[in-house]
Chains A and B, each alone.
Chain A
Amino acid sequence: MSGKPKIAVYKLSSCAGCQLEFLNLEPVLLDVVGALDISYFVMAKRDNAPGPYDIGFVEGAVTCGEEIAKLKAARRDCKTLVALGSCACFGGLPSIKNWEPQREVEARVYSELWAIHSTKAYGIDQYVPVDAYLRGCPIDKGELVELIKNCLLGAAPAWRFPAVCTECKIKENVCLLIYENKPCMGPVTAAGCGALCPTYGKPCEGCRGPAHDANAPSLARIFGDLGLNAADVTRYFRKYAGTTPAFQEGAEAL
């Protein structure tokens, strides 16, 4: 790359929380701005330059035809395309609607159904090739900075995604699953968040999607033993990443 790499931040169907994490990089924000040329970031600046860009960050799930077109244009304009957050990675929260008839879901929110033309919610790699994934709801700022450094180096990040438990144990959190009998998704969810929720006494909700080689059916059976019914267990596995094969297995295990 000659000069500072140009970056673009796009938004599809999302809450904008992951984009906000860019701005929340305060301690290193100036260094980041110094290393990158933020060319297109509608939420953060008024003047946005047209492509091409070196790195594109796409936030949000794809939930309608217009977004597919927007996403394909982004893919065309960016050398490296990054899925920013769980919605872009695997559909995220919007994907909870995928297992109900589309019209029933729409009718719950909208009255003028003729104007609605949404599709099932998927991560962006359903439609375009993706070079890197930043998981989480929202993303982890440390991982974002790591990814930026790797882009500057031209290297692929050497990320590993063991279970959240590995980070939770290192923090010596008192296990919520074992000591509190709370359904915690930690044993099957990808680490990288520093076991944020369990550290504050909240069971992991699985927002970062499946850990590598996760054994979701076993955790589903453990949830069943805790007294959860099959429908509840299914909802746990579909909350953020039900579109992934691993969590699909968990959702259908009981």
Chain B
Amino acid sequence: MSDPATNPTPADRSAPAVDLRGVIALLGGFPALSGIDLRVERGEIVLVAGPNGAGKSTLLNVCAGLVPVARGHAEVLGTDLRGDRGALRHRIGLLGHRNGLYADLTVAENLAFWADMVGANEAETAAALTSAGLDGRLSSVRVSALSAGQRRRTALAVLLVRRAELWLLDEPHAGLDPSGRDELDDLIRLAVASGVTVILASHDLERSRALAGREIVVKGGTVSEAA
């Protein structure tokens, strides 16, 4: 029997990755997003730029279903965010300022844990390790002993294991050295080549523009296309 949580319908697959129209979201009773319109097609990399406090992280959290939509039309991967978001969550990967890893477990153990949580098999886990360049010696190193870049790559490998179709990345380059940033960008390109859609919020505009196909600017809780 197919599991709707992990096997989207054909209609879901043809729908845009993100379709927001007139979306208002409140944080602490105040509008953090005030009438957002945004459409992201499957397989796109979209850069979300804007000053601190403009609503970039809130936009990503709305797409992840973590911040409720107060008003407007909001669909992610063909699912209405104002309805039951439970089934959608398996398909979204959110990487915020933290990596969501267990420091006392090794890289391989972290991936194996997440594989068990989402029902991925050993081959998929091994493929994610390889794709992220974490196979070999690194896989048996505890996360607490990794560099910031290696931790970030491990976190992205978790998204690969989870088979997330939409990656929401909030400042993914923060704290990484240039080679770490290059490795991260390679991994994002690899994911997009396999059909993943990526929305990334970043202050590192030069690097992110080279990665993204499109740029939007969030300012004062609204969105505009970059010139």
- Are the chains A and B members of one assembly? no
